[in-house]
Amino acid sequence: MKAEHVESDLTHVLFTKEEIAQKIEELAEQIDRDYEGRDVLLVGVLKGAVMVMADLTRALKGQYPMDWMAVSSYGSGTKSSGVVRILKDLDTDLHGKDVLIVEDIIDSGLTLSWLRTNLESRGPKSVEICALLRKPDAAKTSIDVKYVGWDIPNEFVVGYGLDFAEHYRNLECIGTLAPHVYE
Ligand SMILES: O=P(O)(O)OC[C@H]1O[C@H](OP(=O)(O)OP(=O)(O)O)[C@H](O)[C@@H]1O
Ligand SMILES: Nc1nc2[nH]cnc2c(=O)[nH]1
């Protein structure tokens, strides 16, 4: 795959750059309102959440420290294995903190379900989740998600941090891949 492959590889655009920006503003408003005066840590899950975190933190009015984890649950394919490994852990002690996990997508829910349990075992005051996208029809476990941008159909999507074989993360929109990309 070469660098010139861009938006023409999408079957259709689900959300434009402008729609994403609007949604991020709405999420930031809710978070600012709910977390005012609290000792918050935003936890971004690499790599997909990079764009959400970058835009969300700049849309927030309050000051929110951030930290990052890298976990692996997908291997090289497009199906969650359910086996999660920590590739990079947090640098921050979570004791007494209100943790808000920032994610790009909830698909099977297995990654976040595991991650929430893992973070809850570290003594935080609370652990909540903010995800830009969620696929209700793909859920293999139920998780309580405090902030969701959109519920989407059970299709593989790329853009705005979401990749296919590490490509398309830098697309400004979110869309589904055209079949010729898989073939
Ligand atoms: O709900 P699930 O089925 O567990 O899937 C969600 C996970 O999959 C994606 O990450 P991925 O493993 O593709 O890694 P990446 O963020 O580095 O792209 C996404 O960022 C979530 O972490
Ligand atoms: N790029 C991408 N990564 C995912 N990880 C879990 N679901 C998805 C998806 O639909 N697209």
Q: What is the pLDDT of residues 4-13, one digit of tens each?
A: 556 678 999 9
The boundaries of the domain holding residue 80 are: 18-154
91 is catalytic: no
Q: Is residue 108 part of a domain?
A: yes
163 by DSSP, 3-state: which?
Answer: coil
Q: Is residue 5 part of a domain?
A: no
Task: Determine the Cα–Cα distance for residues 7 and 173; give it in Å rounded to an integer.
Answer: 9
**DSSP symbols for 62-105:** S---EEEEEEE-STTSSS--S--EEEE--SS--TT-EEEEEEEE
Q: Which of 107, 137, 151, 163 is catalytic?
A: 107
CB of residue 156 inside a 6 A radius of ligand 2? yes
- Position 178 scores a pLDDT of 84
Q: Is residue 7 part of a domain?
A: no
Structure token pair of residue 133: 């996208």
Q: Is residue 1 part of a domain?
A: no
ipTM for the predicted complex: 0.97
- Position 73 scores a pLDDT of 77
CATH code, domain with 73:
3.40.50.2020
Q: Is residue 8 part of a domain?
A: no
Using CB distances shorter than 6 Å, the residues near ligand 1 are: 45-48, 73-74, 80, 103-112, 163
- Position 28 scores a pLDDT of 98
Task: Give the ligand 1 atom nearest the CA of 163.
Answer: 18
Q: Give the mean model confidence (pLDDT) for residues 58-78.
A: 85
- List pLDDT tens digits, range 80-89: 666 789 999 9
- List pLDDT tens digits, range 151-176: 999 999 999 999 999 999 999 999 99
Domain tally, the chain: 1
Task: Give the ligand 2 atom nearest the CA of 158.
Answer: 1
Q: Is residue 69 part of a domain?
A: yes
